[in-house]
């Protein structure tokens, strides 16, 4: 039995190229566009001109859309390799789109690849893979959040069409999207796990009405990228049903499971960026007659941050490794654990980095304040942390059983007596030889 934490030389060479490419070619573009929606905006011609040749270089290198199989133009990389790539891409807002694996398009492409018909793949998936269009995932609702058991958006069959009515909240990137993947109740008389379906809805379909575009804290009101949408008599052809009727839960889990692990992968990179800034700062700044790095409380912050990042990184890689091995049941526990850890580690590391930068840390002249706003986002995206903490506990407890006696199984008096009985003959001979 062997243990090995090394990366094969050929893939390490790819990682080294990605690291240098992101640092030298993509991160400078981040500095030119303050709008977080810029990587997705098809109307941002300046950004598209700058990134188009970079995308070509990624494709020439064979690293475009690595999460998809070769039949779709990707490399079919497993989750472990994707984790190592996304750890680098997480440092940059533009990097995922330059590599063809930006959320939510990556997840939408994945479920289209798994569940889409040939015609759906031709019309929706291929342009998405070619970076010609952007998509959005319209699932959560204003009154229900991410709890699908409370969804009320309905889709009713009317001849050769489906008619969709209801409201969806926080549909990210809808303002840039050419189509939406909408989750709706198609049979209210059965369990929500069996009575919901997903639909491909072009954004220019009559009845797709954006109430407003919601921003994240600090963004100007009405200029965000997360739409509040009202679907009013939206008619789509019957062949716009994704997968089969009642399959929404299966499709959603396929998408969200991958989304959770990919968010975590990129969060590792973000934590490392915050940590790098923290270390540079404490080695550069003096106060009370000595460097910040020489203060014991600062050294504790550095040590705690480094340890937490390494623990988190190994947790993410272990989850990815289990997925690659096909251990779906075990992997679900680890994916939930990763989801819980993501916001916690991001919170702790970024908070320390902000604090050690002082007023500069909370200003808009450092990237830390924007990172800080990512913390609550990571705590709710793809399901709130509390739900996943409950999942971890419930699944872990399956491996244990209750004791049948009055006292715990590790109660020392009972164990000691059992040990005496196990070795009674030997002990009796030893006593007799004295």
Higher pLDDT, 184 or 262: 184
135-242: what fold? Butyryl-CoA Dehydrogenase, subunit A; domain 2 (2.40.110)
pLDDT tier, 434 (very low <50, low <70, confident <90, very high otherwise)? low
Share of the chain above pLDDT 90, in %: 74
- Tell me the C-alpha distance between 91 and 73, whole Å: 25
Domain residue ranges in the chain: 9-116, 135-242, 250-397
253 closest CA partner among 328, 184, 316: 328
| Residue 143 clears pLDDT 80, i.e. is over it | yes
CATH 1.20.140.10 fits 250-397, yes or no: yes
| Residue 355 clears pLDDT 70, i.e. is over it | yes
For residue 266, what are its two tokens? 């990129």
- Tell me the C-alpha distance between 64 and 129, whole Å: 9
pLDDT, tens digit, for every residue of 13-70? Answer: 999 999 999 999 999 999 999 788 899 998 899 999 999 999 999 999 999 988 877 7
The CATH classification number of 9-116 equals 1.10.540.10
- Tell me the C-alpha distance between 46 and 41, whole Å: 10
Range from 39-48, 304-313, 397-406 that averages highest in pLDDT? 304-313
| Residue 323 clears pLDDT 60, i.e. is over it | yes
Helix (H, G, I), strand (E, B) or coil at 404: coil
| Residue 382 clears pLDDT 90, i.e. is over it | no
| Residue 261 clears pLDDT 90, i.e. is over it | no
- Tell me the C-alpha distance between 335 and 117, whole Å: 29
Task: Look at residue 344 in the predicted model and tell me its pLDDT.
Answer: 96
Helix (H, G, I), strand (E, B) or coil at 170: strand
Task: Look at residue 73 in the predicted model and tell me its pLDDT.
Answer: 65
pLDDT tier, 433 (very low <50, low <70, confident <90, very high otherwise)? low
Q: Locate tokens 């909370």: which residue?
A: 362
Listed in sequence order, the DSSP H helices in 191-289 are: 248-284
- Tell me the C-alpha distance between 96 and 262, whole Å: 11
For residue 423, what are its two tokens? 């070795």
- Tell me the C-alpha distance between 266 and 255, whole Å: 17
- Tell me the C-alpha distance between 29 and 145, whole Å: 34
| Residue 222 clears pLDDT 80, i.e. is over it | no
Cβ-contact 136, 104 below 8 angstroms:
yes
Task: Look at residue 218 in the predicted model and tell me its pLDDT.
Answer: 73
| Residue 308 clears pLDDT 80, i.e. is over it | yes
Q: Range with the lowest mean pLDDT among 23-27, 141-145, 280-284? A: 141-145
- Tell me the C-alpha distance between 301 and 318, whole Å: 26
- Tell me the C-alpha distance between 114 and 251, whole Å: 9
Task: Look at residue 219 in the predicted model and tell me its pLDDT.
Answer: 75
Task: Look at residue 217 in the predicted model and tell me its pLDDT.
Answer: 77
Helix (H, G, I), strand (E, B) or coil at 192: coil
């Amino acid at each position: 039995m062997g243990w090995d934490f090394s990366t094969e030389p050929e893939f390490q060479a790819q990682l080294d190229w990605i690291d240098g490419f992101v640092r030298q070619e993509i991160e400078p573009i981040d500095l030119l566009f303050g709008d977080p929606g810029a990587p997705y905006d098809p109307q941002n011609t300046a950004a598209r001109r700058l990134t188009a040749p970079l995308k070509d270089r990624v494709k020439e290198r064979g690293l475009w859309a690595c999460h998809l199989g070769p039949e779709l133009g990707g490399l079919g990389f497993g989750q472990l390799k994707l984790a190592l790539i996304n750890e680098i891409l997480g440092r940059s807002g533009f990097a995922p789109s330059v590599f063809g694996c930006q959320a939510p398009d990556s997840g939408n492409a994945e479920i289209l690849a798994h569940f889409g018909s040939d015609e759906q793949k031709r019309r929706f998936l291929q342009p998405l893979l070619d970076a010609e269009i952007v998509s959005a995932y319209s699932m959560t609702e204003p009154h229900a959040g991410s709890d699908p058991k409370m969804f009320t958006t309905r889709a009713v069959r009317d001849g050769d069409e489906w008619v969709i009515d209801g409201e969806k909240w926080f549909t990210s990137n809808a303002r840039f999207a050419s189509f939406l993947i909408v989750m709706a109740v198609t049979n209210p008389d059965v369990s929500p796990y069996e009575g919901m379906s997903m639909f491909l809805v072009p954004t220019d379909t009559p009845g797709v009405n954006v109430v407003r575009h919601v921003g994240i804290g600090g963004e100007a009101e009405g200029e965000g990228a997360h739409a509040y949408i009202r679907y009013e008599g939206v008619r789509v052809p019957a062949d716009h049903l994704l997968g089969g009727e009642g399959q929404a839960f299966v499709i959603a889990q396929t998408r969200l499971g991958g989304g959770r692990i990919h968010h975590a992968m990129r969060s590792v990179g973000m934590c490392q960026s915050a940590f790098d800034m923290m270390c540079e700062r404490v080695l550069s700044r003096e106060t009370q007659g000595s460097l910040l790095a020489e203060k014991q409380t600062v050294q504790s912050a550095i040590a705690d941050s480094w340890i937490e990042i390494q623990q988190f990184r190994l947790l993410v890689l272990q989850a990815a490794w289990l997925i690659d091995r096909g251990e779906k049941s075990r992997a679900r526990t680890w994916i939930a654990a990763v989801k819980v850890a993501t916001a916690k580690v991001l919170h702790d590391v970024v908070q320390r980095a902000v604090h050690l930068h002082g007023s500069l840390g909370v200003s808009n002249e450092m990237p830390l304040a924007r990172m800080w706003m990512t913390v609550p986002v990571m705590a709710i995206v793809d399901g709130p942390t509390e739900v996943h903490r409950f999942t971890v506990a419930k699944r872990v407890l399956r491996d244990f059983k209750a004791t049948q006696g009055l006292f715990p199984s590790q109660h020392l008096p009972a164990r000691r007596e059992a040990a005496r009985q196990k070795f009674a003959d030997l002990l009796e001979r030893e006593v007799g030889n004295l």
